[in-house]
A and B are shown apart, each in its own frame.
Chain A
């Protein structure tokens, strides 16, 4: 089973090998930080140092992968820092149930 790391409403799943990055686009950092996810209610963000990692988004859906080149910490205003070792991680955002099988992101 793939290793999972959770910080609040964001889960990082370590991939056994780096995926083929065709159709993935790197997301530009903001002031040296990569914003992985933003809480829609509080506006709090999960970020990493852009020198240590690159965030990619898939062109055709919401799938996102973060490639960590050197050990780094995911930071958040409320949660303790989460250490990520080098490797590629799939990013899963926590969702909530809504009727008719629609699920939306947790609004924290």
Chain B
């Protein structure tokens, strides 16, 4: 479930809960026939359920959102401190500061333009980085044709 749909459900439950609380209040105040008494007994329960569900959904939203926020900050810091550390025939290797480990990218160019590919922080050359992105060791990467 995406973070936006969790937030949407939380807001939805809050709105439904508020409506139900209002309706329950109205039924209890004005209803004096049997049907209204039954409704008056159960609708507050439903509105309570909505309130609990909205708290649950907001909790999930925060649990999912906080790590994402930290990851976004980490990504921003890494990009802001990015500098080139090595280059070879296969591209350039760039490094930025990271919270737990340095961020590394290879900057490669082809006929469609320039591309940044984030690679394993353990790679030391652009060739190793490009090779890693295709799941192989640096020495094994040797394309005959590259378009």
Instruction: Tell me whether B133 is interfacial, beta carbon within 8 Å.
Output: yes
Q: Give 1 or 0 for each of A1-16: 1 = CB within 8 Å of chain B CB.
A: 1011111100100000
In order of increasing CB-CB distance, the 7 nearest A-B pairs are A4-B143, A6-B146, A78-B112, A6-B143, A96-B118, A80-B147, A97-B118
A1: contacting residue among B104, B118, B142, B145, CB under 8 A: B142
Category for how many chain A residues contact B: 20 to 34
| Residue B15 CB within 8 A of the other chain | no
Residue total for B at the interface (Cβ-Cβ under 8 A): 26
Q: Does B100 contact A (CB under 8 A)?
A: yes
Across chains A and B, the number of contacting residue pairs, with CB separation under 8 Å, is 62
Binding site for A on B (CB under 8 A): 71, 100-101, 104, 110-112, 115, 117-121, 132-136, 140-147
Residues in chain B near residue A11, CB distance under 8 A: 134, 143
Query: What residues of chain A lie closer than 8 Å to B143, measured between beta carbons?
Result: 4-6, 11
CB of A28 within 8 Å of the partner chain: no
